[in-house]
Each structure stands twice: as structure tokens, then as C-alpha cells.
Amino acid sequence: MGKKKKIEVKSPEDIRLLESEEQEKWEIALELGLFDKVVETGWKSLTARESGKIGGILSARGRQKQGESL
């Protein structure tokens, strides 16, 4: 199995090129106003609070989707 080509996100339009789970993460960062910070300095530059907020929203949306599919 070969490595997937990593898509570099530089603008909000690039988000649509990503896989769905990765898209959601970037979309949440955009909604929270963290998009530019992640583009400039990477995901590791986020504070624990910022990362937790993204993770919490991602988790809540996942649970919501599961509920809809039942």
C-alpha cells in the first residue's frame, strides 16, 4: 500500500479536496476562526482548549450523524 499524497490546505477552497473526516476538522477550525492559525503554524500550534473545542464539536457532529442514520 502506497502513501497517500498529502493535500496542502492554503485556502478554504482547498478543504473540499480532503477526505470527509479531515474536511470536517478544517471546516470547524474555519468556523471557530482558527483556520489562518492552523495554515500558518500547523495543528500543533493550537492550545489544548482550541484542540478540545474542535474535538468536541467533531464528536458531537459524529453522534448527531449516527442518530440520523438509525
Each residue's pLDDT tens digit, 10-65? 999 999 999 998 999 999 999 999 999 999 999 999 999 999 999 999 999 999 98
Tell me which residue range forms the domain holding 57: 21-69
**52 grid coordinates:** 478540545
Count up the domains in the chain and report the number: 1
Encode pLDDT of 37-48 as tens digits: 999 999 999 999
In a domain, 11, yes or no: no
In a domain, 16, yes or no: no
In a domain, 45, yes or no: yes
Task: Work out the number of other CB atoms within 10 angstroms of the CB of residue 19.
Answer: 9
pTM of the model: 0.85
In a domain, 32, yes or no: yes
In a domain, 6, yes or no: no
Could you tell me which of 68, 38, 67 has the C-alpha nearest to residue 54? 38
Which DSSP state fits 32? Answer: T
Three-class SS of 13-52: HHHHHCCHHHHHHHHHHHHCCCHHHHHHHCHHHCCHHHHH
In a domain, 10, yes or no: no
